[in-house]
Chain A
Amino acid sequence: DAGVTQSPTHLIKTRGQQVTLRCSPKSGHDTVSWYQQALGQGPQFIFQYYEEEERQRGNFPDRFSGHQFPNYSSELNVNALLLGDSALYLCASSPAGGIQETQYFGPGTRLLVL
């Protein structure tokens, strides 16, 4: 049973560019959450997708957007990249019909903005 997978593993972009990160949830999970983790910090909640809609959002600007597909996979898009967007981006999935707070994380995508 594959866990949560993310791609790419690493990415280097320059300021002003746009980036798309991808996530496939664990089998049987239908809810996907995205987090940003700066070095030495805990994860910060970006948003959560369920039934192809954004259900909740953290304190992130509109430059951060997402999408969920019918197969429950998800994308995180960040426009107009800033140096401060450099971080580890984590995707987490929660089980369908289960307790949504119990989230399982992927290995993350490390984004470096130059």
Chain B
Amino acid sequence: GQQLNQSPQSMFIQEGEDVSMNCTSSSIFNTWLWYKQDPGEGPVLLIALYKAGELTSNGRLTAQFGITRKDSFLNISASIPSDVGIYFCAGTYAGNNRKLIWGLGTSLAVNP
């Protein structure tokens, strides 16, 4: 079945640094979503993207829907300790009946 390739798998950065992670697919996607999950909690929706080329910000977070519709990236600027967690990309593509397909997550650690 369809898989999302999310990278990097993990990151360890210093507080104040910028972070970038991305997701790629083999199919053209209609929707890209970025979630953050803290240990023992459900994923929290950060940013939703619905159109190719769309660039959306949510505070220090910025995400873009790739022009080819096969990729998306998430940037975090000036990271802080509470950014620690696992970031997931998810999306839907034509033909999978709008079911969300998920990446395997990027684990982010921030050193204060």
Contacts and interface: CB of A to CB of B under 8 A. Distances in A.
Contacts of A43: 43, 88, 100, 102
Interface size range on A against B: 20 to 34
Contacts of B44: 105
Interface in A85-114: 88, 90, 92, 99-108, 110
B45 interface: yes
A8 interface: no
Contacts of B35: 105
B41 A108 contact: yes
A42 B33 contact: no
Interface stretch (B52-60, B61-69, B73-81, B91-99): B91-99
Contact of B100 (A45, A104, A106, A108): A45
Contacts of A107: 40-42
Contacts of A79: none
Given A42-B88, A42-B105, A101 B42 contact: no
Given A41-B104, A56-B99, A102 B40 contact: no
16 contacts: A6-B42, A44-B102, A45-B99, A99-B48, A100-B98, A101-B30, A101-B48, A101-B100, A103-B33, A105-B42, A105-B43, A105-B44, A107-B40, A107-B41, A108-B40, A108-B42
Interface of B: 30-31, 33, 35, 40-45, 48, 50, 88, 90-92, 97-100, 102-105
Interface of A: 4, 6, 33, 41-45, 48, 56, 58, 88, 90, 92, 99-108, 110
